[in-house]
Structure 1
Amino acid sequence: MKITQEQIIASMPSHLRPYTTLQHYDSYTAQDHAVWRFLLRELATRLEQTAHPIYLEGLEKTGISLDAIPNMDDMNEKLADIGWSAVVVDGVIPSAVFMELQALKILPIALDMRSIDHMLYTPAPDIVHEAAGHAPFIIDLDYADYLQRIGEIGVKALSSKQDYAIYEAVRKLSILKEDASRGAAELAEAQRTLEHTLAASNSASEAYQLSRLHWWTVEYGLVGNVNEYKIFGAGLLSSLGESGHCLDDQRVKKIPLTVAAINCPYDITCEQPQLFVTKSCKHLSQVLESFANGMAFKQGGAIGLQKALDCATVATVEYSSGIQLSGVVSKILTDAVGNEIYVATSGPSQLAYKSAQLLGHGIVEHPKGIASPVGQLKDMPRCLSVYTIDELRELGIYCNAEIRLEFLSGVTVVGCLKNILRRDHKNLLFRFSNCTVTGPTGETLFRADEGDYDMAIGERVVSVYGGAADKEHYPLRLLPPSASHQTRNHSERELALFSMYQTVRNMREADAYIDLAVLCSLHDYLAKYPKEWLLRFEILELLPADHDHYHRIVAELMALRSHSEDYACLIDMALASVATVKS
């Protein structure tokens, strides 16, 4: 049974759905399809020897044709056979969203088709890059596992406010660079904004470091060794320019892939001066896990908490009992040997267990934050979480009683115990009224007049990671992008050109009688479009090599080479291609 785009989006977590859209296949013009056909045919020819051998096989097995822009429904029918699916997104999306989609084995595919003006290299994600670049390698199980795993780890990565500012600046610049109507001044201003934003970022968060590893592997990776390698990165596989330039060892430095790649910045809007070479897809996973071992979600403790404090964005603190505290970490207390003894959040906060929000403990009930001690109590050999209700009663800890809890750290909680929240035979949360909390030096951490006090229970912090525990109840709440891709209104002149493209396309796909008179008429009409090289090439493909219009078109294309370096490069490819077919 065919699964529709709507069904896939409906099956996703609700907080991810706003970042997706639908592919309206009819919105692609005949020129768009011609650009796709030219690029994919050239890429398939050029990459036959330089790409990882699985590339061409992967195109076919993931529903990607060389002749037309892929239909998402057709792609998903193929992807379903290997346990993946795809959704359409609008250009650059936040890293946290991108990673979570990958973790769910969903490929985010950019909606747009690059313009004829950016065929060699596009600064903005497009369907060539996303579909023809990423999808083919998913048929390799080791690569698919890596892709999903980097998504799972990315979901846990701590991100900073600077990360979102960088995302906004990159997104805006990539959109402007792809839009031929934008002026030089506007582009220069966007470039300066990105440079200033990067310069203002004084530390690399886990999310930013992981994005670099993702870039140098999934996007711009090589496999083999520095002297003998194949291409597998989607950014290279989808670029006629870079897929060739990257092979020049004088122009592009090759570096063996290690975790140190996280320290190498990149610019999404220009070609890369160096690339990293992995030994294999299994090696990718080894490097990834090496990086993950140093992340806060695995380290926990005071080190993980300090990372969250530095990022100043919503993070989740998980106690050894399993209770999860989500919010912006605003305060950490440690003992003399550096162990965490008290954690506080500010702003909207949430308490959860097994990533499900605890009833009555969401951001509405906790708009100003939550704070709790961490550690063991004096004269209690086990963590407070594992005592039974009867054992607690024997120790004088029961509801509606005035109790005093003295932690080994020196933190003291005094108040009336109102409620004990338990899950899976564990105590997760004590709620107090008329409560006072003091620190090791006698400082007041919570006053009785501040209301009820919810004390999370656990003897240590086992994990700290980015985002909320229950994202459905505490969504990302990222601001809408300041720049977005707009549906373009085509002029009458453009529509007439697209109609000619469609006529040639229909004639070619019919695989029957070629109407030379119609082709010649179209060619004559192209005098109104002196810079239109691609349609001339498509007409050339269908003409006999000894036809008068054939020689006229070749001469026109040769003259157009002087228009720009890109024109010269593309026209040389076109003429070489048609010469091979005609010979």
Structure 2
Amino acid sequence: MEGSIAPPNGIIGTATLPAGLRGDYAHALEDGTLPAEAIRRTEADHATWRTLVARQRALFPGRAADAWLKGLDRLRCDYAVPDLDQASDILEDAAGWRLVPCPGLLPDGQFFDLLARRRFPVTSWIRRPDELDYVVEPDIFHDFLGHVPLLTDPAYARFLEAYGRLGQKAAARGLLTPLARFYWFMVEFGLIEQADDGSGSAAPGLRAYGAGIMSSRAELLHAVDGDPARLRFDAFRVMRSEYRIDDLQPAYFVIRDYAELFEAIATAPALLDVANAATPIPPGGSHPQDEPWRT
């Protein structure tokens, strides 16, 4: 899965993190974040960032969702590893969010608590030059370039806060499996309908916004230009859908707009128990009630 993330226990953190993670967990504060003084950047870090951004930028026309691309442009982050305080000022003005540095993967409690407070955790370190195409743990390129641009969109930002609040409740009830699936498909690998702009996209009217797609060359080309299964978004279907972390996605879900995600989270509490008890749908599997997305 080129450039995307494959944490050992899924996309959401775990109650106890596995040993051997790469980040500077020794300096993490009680809420999982890092003090600003613990972060140092080198010119090599900035060079790696510029290379990664330039490679992805070349692929965005005709493939990146408008709101995501406008957010990226607004952040002005092409030429150096972003300063999180400066980016936070932009996000706070746009939608009331701020960024906080962290060592990497966070336990569930810390992760959900930060989202519920409109604080998005961003991994502090960046991959090495020999890891441009693949990194196992999420780094700042994935976290910032993939996730942060859409935090300038009020509708999406409102959804992610609501997701954090639901996560707090789901964790207490032992219902994180269906919620982890929702995060995987709709936050990391989501697609959105968009009016065709005549750009010549391989899939007119379809654009990508998920962080795992936007930070990966292979996933972006596969999701938009390739021929995977693309299904109309249905929250219950998503919560039953298993996923793989070691390959390109065989199926994606397509939303109409970001408000649809917020509406789904508002109704999700009633679905969690049922989805958790339902027979899972294997990766790339089909269901009789599936509604294919068509342009």
TM-score normalised to structure 1 length: 0.38
Paired letter, 1:144: A
Secondary structure of the corresponding residue to residue 158 of structure 1: helix
Instruction: Specify the alignment match of 2:180 in structure 1.
Output: 211
Conserved 8 A contact 1:105-1:148: yes
Deviation of 1:67 after TM superposition, in Å, equals 0.8
Aligned residue among 279, 284, 289 for 2:266? 289
1:114/1:136 CA distance change after superposition, 3 Å: same
Cα distance in 2 for residues equivalent to 1:235 and 1:35: 19
Runs of at least 5 residues in structure 1 that lack an aligned partner in the other structure: 1-15, 161-204, 297-302, 308-583
Conserved 8 A contact 2:97-2:157: no
1:46/1:266 CA distance change after superposition, 3 Å: same
1:142 aligns with 2:118: no
State how 1:150-229 maps to structure 2 within 5 Å: 150-158=163-171, 205-224=174-193, 228-229=205-206
Instruction: Specify the alignment match of 1:254 in structure 2.
Output: 230
Higher share of residues assigned strand:
1
Deviation of 1:40 after TM superposition, in Å, equals 0.9
Conserved 8 A contact 2:39-2:124: no
Deviation of 1:157 after TM superposition, in Å, equals 0.5
Paired letter, 2:67: I
Instruction: Specify the alignment match of 2:5 in structure 1.
Output: none
Cα distance in 1 for residues equivalent to 2:93 and 2:58: 27
Secondary structure of the corresponding residue to residue 247 of structure 1: helix
Instruction: Specify the alignment match of 2:51 in structure 1.
Output: 38
1:241 aligns with 2:218: yes
Deviation of 1:159 after TM superposition, in Å, equals 5.5
Paired letter, 1:22: P
Paired letter, 2:182: L
Paired letter, 1:96: G
Paired letter, 1:150: Y
Conserved 8 A contact 2:33-2:101: yes
1:131 aligns with 2:144: yes
Cα distance in 1 for residues equivalent to 2:87 and 2:124: 14
Relative contact order: is structure 1 or structure 2 higher (C-alpha 8 Å, sep ≥ 6)? 2
Paired letter, 1:117: D
Secondary structure of the corresponding residue to residue 46 of structure 1: coil
Aligned residue among 256, 273, 280 for 1:279? 256
State how 1:170-569 maps to structure 2 within 5 Å: 205-224=174-193, 228-250=205-227, 252-259=228-235, 260-295=237-272
Paired letter, 1:130: D
1:271/1:27 CA distance change after superposition, 3 Å: farther
**CA-to-aligned-CA distance 1:269-309 (integer Å, 9 cap, x gap):** 5432221111111221232233222347xxxxxx9xxx9xx
Cα distance in 2 for residues equivalent to 1:269 and 1:35: 24
Secondary structure of the corresponding residue to residue 17 of structure 1: coil
1:25/1:49 CA distance change after superposition, 3 Å: farther
Deviation of 1:221 after TM superposition, in Å, equals 0.4
Cα distance in 1 for residues equivalent to 2:220 and 2:60: 8
Cα distance in 2 for residues equivalent to 1:239 and 1:248: 14
Paired letter, 1:79: L
1:90/1:263 CA distance change after superposition, 3 Å: same
Deviation of 1:240 after TM superposition, in Å, equals 2.0
Instruction: Specify the alignment match of 1:77 in structure 2.
Output: 89
Aligned length: 238
Cα distance in 1 for residues equivalent to 2:254 and 2:222: 16
1:67 aligns with 2:79: yes
Paired letter, 1:32: D
Runs of at least 5 residues in structure 2 that lack an aligned partner in the other structure: 1-28, 195-202, 278-295
Conserved 8 A contact 1:121-1:240: no
Conserved 8 A contact 2:150-2:157: yes
Cα distance in 1 for residues equivalent to 2:206 and 2:98: 29
Cα distance in 1 for residues equivalent to 2:85 and 2:222: 34
Rg (Cα) greater in structure: 1
Conserved 8 A contact 1:121-1:242: no
Cα distance in 1 for residues equivalent to 2:182 and 2:102: 22
Paired letter, 2:90: K
**CA-to-aligned-CA distance 1:408-455 (integer Å, 9 cap, x gap):** xxxxxxxxxxxxxxxxxxxxxxxxxxxxxxxxxxxxxxxxxxxxxxxx
1:227/1:292 CA distance change after superposition, 3 Å: farther
Deviation of 1:121 after TM superposition, in Å, equals 3.4
Deviation of 1:129 after TM superposition, in Å, equals 1.3
Paired letter, 2:189: Y
1:271/1:23 CA distance change after superposition, 3 Å: farther
Question: What's the RMSD between the two structures over aligned residues?
Answer: 2.6
1:122/1:86 CA distance change after superposition, 3 Å: same
Deviation of 1:242 after TM superposition, in Å, equals 1.3
Paired letter, 2:168: V
Mean CA deviation greater in 47-56 or 225-234: 225-234
Deviation of 1:136 after TM superposition, in Å, equals 0.9
Paired letter, 1:293: A
Deviation of 1:103 after TM superposition, in Å, equals 1.1
Cα distance in 1 for residues equivalent to 2:234 and 2:98: 30
Instruction: Specify the alignment match of 1:115 in structure 2.
Output: 128
Cα distance in 2 for residues equivalent to 1:139 and 1:102: 15
